[in-house]
Each structure stands twice: as structure tokens, then as C-alpha cells.
Amino acid sequence: MALLGLDISSTTVKLLELSRTGDSYRVESYSVASLPQDAVVEKAISDIDGVANGIRSVLAQSRSKLKLVAAAVAGSAVITKLVQMPAGLSEEEMETQLTLEADQYIPYPLEEVALDFEVQGPVPGRDGMVEVLLAACRRETIDARVEAIENAGLEPKVMDVEAYAMERAYGLIRENLALDEGAVVAVVDIGATMTTLSVLANGQTIYTREQLFGGKQLTDEIMRRYGLPLEEAGLAKKQGGLPDDYEDELLNPFRDAVVQQVTRSLQLFFSSSQYNDVDFIIMAGGVSYMDGLVELVQDRLGTPAAMANPFAEMSISPRVNAVALGSDAPAMMIACGLALRSFD
């Protein structure tokens, strides 16, 4: 089932369509469009019409003919629990039992919550029992996304969790960077307003945490110092043309702040787990494309680092602007993980 990967973040909508031949993927279409200010606040949609317009815009730019969509909610909006259940149950029996027991795990009234579950495998040392991942999200969070997608003339088919979409896209990067399967890898996704740290071991997410920090802080500084409106400040940040003191006065302090943020996020992970080191850092999100940032993180933290590019091994349709895709690639991890749902 061919699905469009649609990533709705705090400032943009990103759309991606992939196809597959054998083991090879191809980017068929992609597009990024800005959202109105505060249409999405801390991953929650507050302006459904504004987001629907953004989705219409990316769809028109991408010229994709697909109508079915895979989208995602933020990890912070989802409660997940591993539950042990008898192995012989059918899906219906599992669903009934989980619904009956869900109030043990979920702090909201059940009528306000959407539930889903997936069998993970046998429980080590407990014959006849399987481990089941239960995921619950408030309906209002999902409904806002569904409404925006439907208002844009598309059909939401899959609602995923951002961390799992990131995990799926990481699988492509791990192969490309030839990272050991058992490697402990930190993916630091720095967007406009949020930074999400995901730590993966054996290709699976073992930790994820969101913090308020992002590239908009630098945009705001540019607006303040040089008296530019938001759109011009954002363009100047990307394309250059700012006064000579920009690098020393604003850019370098912001790079330092990013390194501090990465360091702090990792320290929080170390303090809450048995790990005290990671083998590799992958920098994702729009901010990571900033000149010299990956090298700075690598030097300061003493851990090998690379910029995320899930498309490194993919072929690209002639109708896709390969240069634009290259610069947007670090920010396309979640959209890529969602588009990969086409091949489940």
C-alpha cells in the first residue's frame, strides 16, 4: 500500500513519497512547506485550517498522486507499556483483555484514549507468555491531525509515533554508516522549537526525551539584532547575507548552545540508564545542516558523529530537486520513517 509520509512539525509540513524495487528505494516526490506562526505549539496542533493549508501546499508542490497518508504523533503524547500476556490469544482476545486492563496503565478515561498494541515476542524464561507493547494516545491529539489531513483532501491511513518513525529511518542510516548492529547510537533531532534525543541499541529505541530548544532561537536573535521580519530572518540564516559581526556575535554562541544542549540531553540519558557512553551520534533536524556543527559536536564530546541522510543510498526521481533534498535530508528522518510504512 503506497503511503505518503507526512511529518507535521512546529514550523513546517514535510511530505515524502518512496517507491521500492527489490531492496532499493527511490524518492518519487518530496516537498516542504512553512506553517503559519503558532499553528503547532509544542507538537500540538492549535490551528487546524492553517495546518490543512500547509498540507495542501506540500501536496501541490510535490505533484504526488497518492492520497493515503502515514502521519505521527509526538512521543510525549503517547504512553507505552510492555505487558505480559498468554501466547495463545487471538488478536480479538488480546484486544478485549487489554481494554479491560488498560485503566491500570493509563491515567486518562478510556473513552478519551486511542489504544493500539503489537506483540513483541516471547517472554524470556516464561513459557507460554508473550510481551505485548501497548500504546495509548489521547483522541484529541490524533483527531486534530486526522482533521487537518482530511481537510487537505487526503486520507489518514496510519498514525505512528515519531520515535518509531525515527527508528525505521535509522535502519537505513545504520547500514549506510556501517554501524555495528549492537551499537548504542544517539540521534539528536534539533528542529525549530524542539530537540528530541532518541537513543537506539540493537536498532531499537531504548530512550527518548523532548526538550524545548531549537533553531528558532537563532532566528529570533537575528530578528532582534538586525530588525528583520521573521521570513527574511529565516532566509538570511539559511542563505547568508547578514552583517560581518553575525558569525562572532550570534552564530558561534548558538553553535555552543547546541553543543551544550546535546551534552545535557546525553547526561540526562546516562543518569537514568545503565549506560555511561554512546558509540555514535547522528545529528538530525534542520539545525544540524548548519556549517561545522557536526564537527563541533564530535570534537567537544569526543564521540564520532555524522549528519543524518536517510537518502544516501536511494535513487532520486528526475522530478525531484536533488540539491534541495540534500539540504533538507537531515530534517526528513520522520517523514522518511513514515513513508517506509508503505512496505510493511
pLDDT digits 0-9 by tens, 215-235: 999 999 999 999 999 889 988
- Tell me the CATH number at 80: 3.30.1490.300
- Give a yes or no: residue 290 inside a domain: yes
What pLDDT does residue 238 have?
A: 84
What pLDDT does residue 132 have?
A: 92
Residue 42: is its pLDDT beyond 90? no
Tell me, yes or no, whether 127 and 183 share the same domain: no
Most confident region among 178-182, 235-239, 293-297 by mean pLDDT: 293-297
What pLDDT does residue 93 have?
A: 93
Tell me, yes or no, whether 214 and 296 share the same domain: yes
Tell me, yes or no, whether 129 and 212 share the same domain: no
Domain count, the chain: 2
Residue 102: is its pLDDT beyond 90? no
What pLDDT does residue 68 have?
A: 98
| pLDDT (mean) for 255-281 | 96
| pLDDT (mean) for 194-209 | 94
Tell me, yes or no, whether 197 and 283 share the same domain: yes
What pLDDT does residue 239 have?
A: 84
Q: Provide the whole-model pTM.
A: 0.93
CB neighbour list of residue 211: distance below 8 Å, 6 or more residues apart: 194, 195, 196, 197, 261, 265
Rounded to an integer, what distance in angstroms lies between the CA atom of residue 252 and that of residue 257?
A: 9
Rounded to an integer, what distance in angstroms lies between the CA atom of residue 1 and that of residue 291?
A: 38
Tell me, yes or no, whether 116 and 182 share the same domain: no
Rounded to an integer, what distance in angstroms lies between the CA atom of residue 168 and that of residue 282?
A: 14
Given a contact cutoff of 8 angstroms between Cβ atoms, the answer to whether 164 and 206 are in contact is no
Q: Domain range for residue 292?
A: 178-308
The confidence band for 100, taking pLDDT boundaries of 50, 70 and 90, is: confident
What pLDDT does residue 336 have?
A: 98
What pLDDT does residue 110 have?
A: 85
The confidence band for 9, taking pLDDT boundaries of 50, 70 and 90, is: very high
